[in-house]
Structure 1
Amino acid sequence: MANLTHWNPFKPLTPFESRAPMLGDFFRDFGLRPRWQELDAPDMRIDVSENERSYAVKAEIPGVDKNDIDVSIDGNQVSISAEVKRETSKKDDERDICTERYHGQVYRSFSLPGDVDSDKADARYENGLLTLTLPKKENGSARKITVS
Structure 2
Amino acid sequence: MKTQAQYIEQLHSLLQRTSLPKEEYINYITNPFMSSFREDFAPFVELTATGYRLQMYERGQNVFTKMIYDEDAMLYWILAYTIELVTHIRLLHKYKVDNKTSFLTYDEQLVGEWQHDQTQIFDAIGGIYAQWWHEKGKRADIESI
TM-score under structure 1 normalisation?
A: 0.25
In proportion to residue count, which structure has more helix? 2
Whose Rg is larger? 1
In proportion to residue count, which structure has more strand? 1
TM-score under structure 2 normalisation?
A: 0.26
